[in-house]
Structure 1
């Protein structure tokens, strides 16, 4: 039964908006009239999403469900199913109470397709909204095993943990980013307004300015009169960098550089490892075969060198090699995770060990982020202090020279 978004007038003449299910627009209009509502506009959600889906090429332009919203919906769906609510009723309830339009349409589309007889995983596959291949595969495994509610619980925990980690990293980086922005604004203010007015006083005295002051004036003059070219240059650099990073070869080289920079490599490798291990652990624990789980986990690997290593692991495991052996041959994975995976394979608890490793490296990522910020803060202060000191010296040096001339 398709779902419709409606706008209607109540008896008091107020506009009401909402969602309602019906076999056709005619039936929906009658249902609204039965509720003493006068329909103004109806839009079939399925038709709208189908048009959107046709116009988007392999998901490139499809809307992505925010991680926080997906985590909340997954947790709520688990709660309803665990309480004995049928899947269709649970999806209908979630669609009605969703706060954002995107989530309403996403959940309403799932409800309509499940009502038509599709499985939840098939409904997710047909949805124009992106949720990730690992999410769909986990749901499919839960449905096939008959333990969808338990799988949803595990999946919700995974998404919530990923969301918490992302928020902690972003929070840790807010202060350094603000410092950089404020420093740039201060320097621009000094170069555009303060330096020309202060140093310009010496021009009328026909005094030869020190080289540092002359250089600062040249930079100030360029910023004032050539700011358009400067902005165009920065924009061109950004577009060029973006274009190069879209090329697999250049992106691979850049990721390789990130993985070798002291202080940064620990952060990026641990972050990629934590997300990959959690995804793989949830997939295997939900009943997905190891080879399929490895193949799906490639999608969540953010670093190209590690992504290619996991792709090779898929082939090697399919040929009969153990996961721990292929991880060791990859050469990127931390030793603790290798030991945990080896132990898990020996005891038949590979999924548990992967999740345990993910928890450890998620904590390590938080620690690495804190360490990185503690290093960046004093470095930024020193750099900013050096720039301001240079500007102050360029202003004060003519004054010192003038005082020496008066003293003589």
Structure 2
């Protein structure tokens, strides 16, 4: 017999505070249907954005995976048979072939240790990012990365703007809106900045003014928030900001992937080409020496 909002609160891992707050406001205001429709639109837009980003990254991942598989097959199954043949013949091998043989020997002796070191480093890093301090530093570092940091910043800000707009529309006071938005974000660096804005808001400084003091909040956001506060249509201003940031994040993601794809293709082409060249040059060298 409990309310829907109370039921949502019992599952915080599935439903963030934003959901329970919005549903509770809808229940109290008698407009739960409208609130649920707004939440559905919010989730749909977020899903579309995530789908676009994943779709843009799928091709580079597949290219790298296929190239790695091809190289492993060449070095593991094809090249060793050539090495044994050349050893029996006793022919002098070209430099590229000797380099590849040395690389293959090194990986055969130390490849397992290298893999263990990499796995240990990845595991230690992952475990550290699960601690409060590690998670904060990881999120802070992600925001500072070139290209990627801007995309992360835009994505986080657009999500915050949509959350705040939704909660304002259902009638929650601004301090509660910020509190729910803070608890809904997974980025600790964003959470820190929002908390400072919330504290300034409680002191009576408004919303736009404290945002201008934090580098996280981009000028468009602070300007639109100021306009929204002055006109009394803050929720509409936040939606405008969210749409602008989502479009920019999509454009930057597409542009970044467009630059990465040719680079990956060229690098892997050179790598595979080097392996094939080493094998063919050795073959021609041996045949030439045998003919002599």
The answer to whether 1:124 aligns with 2:3 is: no
Which of 57, 66, 81 in structure 2 is aligned with 1:173?
A: 57
User: Structure 1-normalised TM-score?
Assistant: 0.66
Matches within 5 A, 1:128-167: 130-167=14-51
User: Structure 2-normalised TM-score?
Assistant: 0.90
Q: Where in structure 1 are there 5+ consecutive unaligned residues?
A: 1-115
Match of 1:290 in 2: 174
Which of 142, 159, 164 in structure 2 is aligned with 1:280?
A: 164
Match of 1:44 in 2: none
Greater strand proportion: 1
Match of 1:232 in 2: 116
Note if contact 1:192-1:224 (Cα within 8 Å) is conserved in structure 2. no
Cα distance in 1 between the residues matched to 2:255 and 2:45: 21
Cα distance in 1 between the residues matched to 2:260 and 2:93: 36
Cα distance in 2 between the residues matched to 1:251 and 1:130: 20
Q: Where in structure 2 are there 5+ consecutive unaligned residues?
A: none
SS in 1 for 2:5: helix
The answer to whether 1:190 aligns with 2:71 is: no
Post-superposition offset of 1:167: 1.7
Structure with greater Cα Rg: 1
Match of 1:329 in 2: 213
Cα distance in 2 between the residues matched to 1:124 and 1:251: 26
Which of 185, 189, 199 in structure 1 is aligned with 2:83?
A: 199
SS in 1 for 2:144: coil
Cα distance in 1 between the residues matched to 2:184 and 2:242: 14
Note if contact 1:125-1:136 (Cα within 8 Å) is conserved in structure 2. yes
Query: Are residues 215 and 251 of structure 1, via their aligned partners in 2, closer, same or farther at CA, if it must alter by over 3 Å?
Result: farther
Note if contact 2:67-2:268 (Cα within 8 Å) is conserved in structure 1. yes
Note if contact 1:192-1:223 (Cα within 8 Å) is conserved in structure 2. no
Give the length in aligned residue pairs: 292
Say which structure, 1 or 2, has more relative contact order (CA 8 Å, 6+ apart). Answer: 2
Note if contact 2:18-2:180 (Cα within 8 Å) is conserved in structure 1. yes
Which of 176, 196, 199 in structure 2 is aligned with 1:312?
A: 196
